[in-house]
């Protein structure tokens, strides 16, 4: 008797979905996506209501005329890929090192994970006073008192050296310029680009750059520099004037739309080397996703537009309530359908929320942590303090060391242990965990006071959105698989 014949099978952990008449599954422990043929589907349907032994399954499959050898083969294929699993759950588990790690350890993040990205907060000063700002608003974690307001060149140089030193083995690394308002320290940005390029070239490596800005200070000269140096630009912008000006205001309360509109147009027209992205923060009253998207994509001409609900404690006036979130999601669905139509024609639609998820689905990511913070990415504040990411910059309680002395490994380990998917028990039964992994550390801190707390307030929303993107992925892979190749290559080589 072979081992197979003694097994009692049940369904493994997967999320089924369909697109048109085709049926798919998202295999949760792996992050793999498979399309099922009719035979596989019928086997899964049989196991949906009850467990079945090998012999039972073979008998049921062969009854309608399926050959016995084919039935054995089908069962073996589904078993080996863990779409179905057999009786004793510990048997599979103990042989599989990865499963052991996932089951028992929160420490399996490699401690020598080389850096990939450094976010340089060139300044913590800003010329706008957006009410929801996580750096200055009511939920801020930053404690900037007594610290430098602008980064100096020495700190920036040390940071670049630190990045190159700590990213050994990576062919290409990345610097993101951030603020405050990044362009308030544009002279330093220019110096850093020159310095970092030289240093990287000296080591035979490449370095690229991106930045986030509120666009108020863009001039023809800055745009020319950004374009010439292939610096990717993300503009924080919340839509047409009536929506944008609600919260994105100057200190005197005046909206910033009129100031940035001509500058944004000039940026998109003259910066031709990298796609220009808009990043929209959704707040209570600013949830008109479709109108915002149309304005930013069609009227202004952004290449990509991405949306995220504001990070906030739930009682703030600008927090979106559940009904508001449902409306947002409804509109996301409309844009997602549109995205699919574009994709089937081989065109880019520009709704980043879909592209970003497709990209992760394409690779089949299975995250131990929600993002690269404190792993491949760290933020550096004007003072040279190292933070898990730009959102924690200038916060004493979250600092992970200083650029002159390096990363405090003990603090880093603590941050990573708390943020690890294994320490988030609520997530263990969720099928969307390979992509979400509990969600943003900073959002968790603002909501729950702990960076390692799962973001339970948006679970339903994440599952719905992941399911939507899976269905888009399935449909594209059937009707226009060529389209997905872009995503396969997008992050693969970094």
Residues in contact with other proteins by CB under 8 A are: 1-4, 24, 27, 30-37, 39-40, 73-74, 76-78, 80-81, 83, 90-91, 94-95, 97, 100, 104, 361-366, 473-474, 477, 488
Shortest Å distance, C-beta 477 to other proteins? 5
Shortest Å distance, C-beta 363 to other proteins? 5
The CA distance from 43 to 51, in Å, is: 11
Q: Do 220 and 266 form a contact (C-beta atoms < 8 A)?
A: yes
Shortest Å distance, C-beta 95 to other proteins? 6
Shortest Å distance, C-beta 196 to other proteins? 31
**Residue (396 or 489) nearer to other proteins, CB:** 489
Shortest Å distance, C-beta 160 to other proteins? 32
Shortest Å distance, C-beta 31 to other proteins? 5
Question: What is the number of other CB atoms lying within 10 angstroms of the CB of residue 187?
Answer: 11
Shortest Å distance, C-beta 60 to other proteins? 16
> If phi over 0 gives left and psi between -120 and 50 gives alpha, with beta otherwise, what is residue 148?
beta
Shortest Å distance, C-beta 485 to other proteins? 11
Peptide bond into 180 cis (omega under 30): yes
Residue 348, helix vs strand vs coil: coil
**Residue (94 or 317) nearer to other proteins, CB:** 94
SS3 content of the chain, % helix, strand, coil (to 5): 50, 15, 35
> Which among 43, 24, 41 has a CA at the least distance from the CA of 32?
24
**Residue (254 or 491) nearer to other proteins, CB:** 491
HSE-up of residue 132 (Cα within 13 Å, Cβ side): 28
**Residue (128 or 470) nearer to other proteins, CB:** 470
**Residue (3 or 251) nearer to other proteins, CB:** 3
Q: Do 84 and 12 form a contact (C-beta atoms < 8 A)?
A: yes
Shortest Å distance, C-beta 389 to other proteins? 26
**Residue (75 or 427) nearer to other proteins, CB:** 75
**β 401-402/386-387 pair status:** unpaired
For the chain, what is the largest distance between any 2 Cα atoms, rounded to a whole number of angstroms?
81
| Sequence-ordered list of residues with C-beta below 8 angstroms from that of 485, at least 6 positions apart, any chain | none
**Residue (3 or 63) nearer to other proteins, CB:** 3
Shortest Å distance, C-beta 82 to other proteins? 8
Residue 276, helix vs strand vs coil: strand
Shortest Å distance, C-beta 112 to other proteins? 21
Shortest Å distance, C-beta 337 to other proteins? 20
The two three-digit tokens of residue 28, written as one number: 């949760």
**Whats the size of the chain, residue-wise?**
494
The CA distance from 434 to 452, in Å, is: 16
**Residue (176 or 366) nearer to other proteins, CB:** 366
The CA distance from 443 to 33, in Å, is: 29
**Residue (287 or 366) nearer to other proteins, CB:** 366
SS3 string of 106-134? CCCCCCCCCCCEEEEECECCCCECCCCCC
The CA distance from 144 to 128, in Å, is: 17
The CA distance from 369 to 357, in Å, is: 16
Residue 340, helix vs strand vs coil: helix
The CA distance from 279 to 223, in Å, is: 18
Which neighbouring-strand residues pair with 22? Answer: 19
**Residue (269 or 494) nearer to other proteins, CB:** 494
Q: Do 65 and 49 form a contact (C-beta atoms < 8 A)?
A: no
Which neighbouring-strand residues pair with 277? Answer: 234, 304
**Residue (459 or 484) nearer to other proteins, CB:** 484
**Residue (81 or 131) nearer to other proteins, CB:** 81
């Amino acid at each position: 008797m072979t081992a197979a014949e003694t097994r009692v099978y049940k369904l493994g952990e997967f999320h089924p979905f369909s697109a048109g008449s085709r049926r798919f599954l998202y295999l949760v422990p792996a992050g793999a996506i498979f399309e099922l043929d009719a035979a596989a589907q019928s086997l899964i349907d049989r196991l949906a209501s009850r467990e079945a032994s090998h012999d039972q399954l073979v008998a049921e499959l062969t009854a309608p005329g399926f050959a016995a050898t084919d039935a054995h083969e089908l069962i073996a294929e589904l078993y080996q890929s863990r779409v179905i699993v057999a009786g004793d759950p510990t048997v599979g588990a103990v042989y599989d090192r990865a499963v052991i790690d996932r089951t028992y350890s929160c420490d399996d993040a490699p401690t020598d994970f080389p850096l990939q990205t450094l976010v340089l907060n060139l300044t913590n000063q800003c010329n706008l006073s957006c009410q929801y700002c996580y750096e200055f608003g009511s939920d801020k974690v930053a404690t900037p008192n007594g610290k430098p307001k602008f980064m100096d060149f020495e700190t920036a140089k040390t940071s670049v050296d630190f990045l190159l030193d700590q990213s050994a083995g990576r062919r290409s690394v990345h610097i993101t310029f951030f603020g405050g308002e990044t362009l308030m320290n544009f002279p330093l940005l220019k110096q850093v680009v020159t310095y970092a390029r030289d240093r990287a070239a000296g080591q035979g490596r490449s370095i690229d750059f991106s930045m986030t800005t509120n666009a108020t200070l863009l001039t023809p000269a800055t745009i020319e520099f950004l374009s010439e140096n292939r610096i990717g630009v993300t503009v924080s912008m919340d839509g047409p004037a009536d929506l944008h000006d609600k919260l994105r205001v100057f200190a005197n309360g005046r909206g910033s739309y009129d100031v940035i509109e001509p500058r944004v147009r000039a940026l998109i027209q003259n910066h031709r080397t990298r796609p220009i992205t808009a990043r929209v923060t959704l707040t209570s009253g600013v949830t008109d996703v479709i109108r915002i998207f149309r304005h930013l994509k069609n009227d202004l001409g952004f290449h990509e537009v991405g949306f995220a609900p504001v990070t906030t404690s739930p009682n703030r006036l600008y927090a979106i309530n559940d009904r508001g979130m449902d409306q947002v999601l409804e509109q996301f669905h409309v844009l997602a359908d549109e995205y699919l139509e574009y994709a089937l024609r081989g065109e880019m639609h520009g709704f980043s929320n879909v592209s970003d998820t497709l990209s992760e689905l394409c690779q089949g990511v299975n995250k131990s942590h929600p993002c690269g913070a404190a792993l491949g990415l760290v933020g550096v504040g004007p003072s040279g303090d190292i933070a898990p990411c730009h959102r924690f910059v200038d916060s004493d309680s979250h600092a992970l060391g200083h650029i002159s002395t390096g990363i405090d490994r003990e603090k880093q380990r603590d941050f990573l242990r708390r943020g690890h998917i294994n320490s988030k028990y609520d997530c263990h039964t969720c099928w969307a965990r390979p992509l979400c992994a509990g969600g943003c550390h900073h959002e968790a801190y603002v909501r729950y006071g702990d960076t390692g707390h799962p973001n339970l307030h948006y679970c339903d929303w994440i599952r719905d959105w992941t399911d939507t993107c899976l269905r888009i992925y399935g449909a594209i892979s059937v009707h226009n698989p060529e389209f997905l190749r872009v995503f396969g290559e997008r992050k693969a080589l970094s």
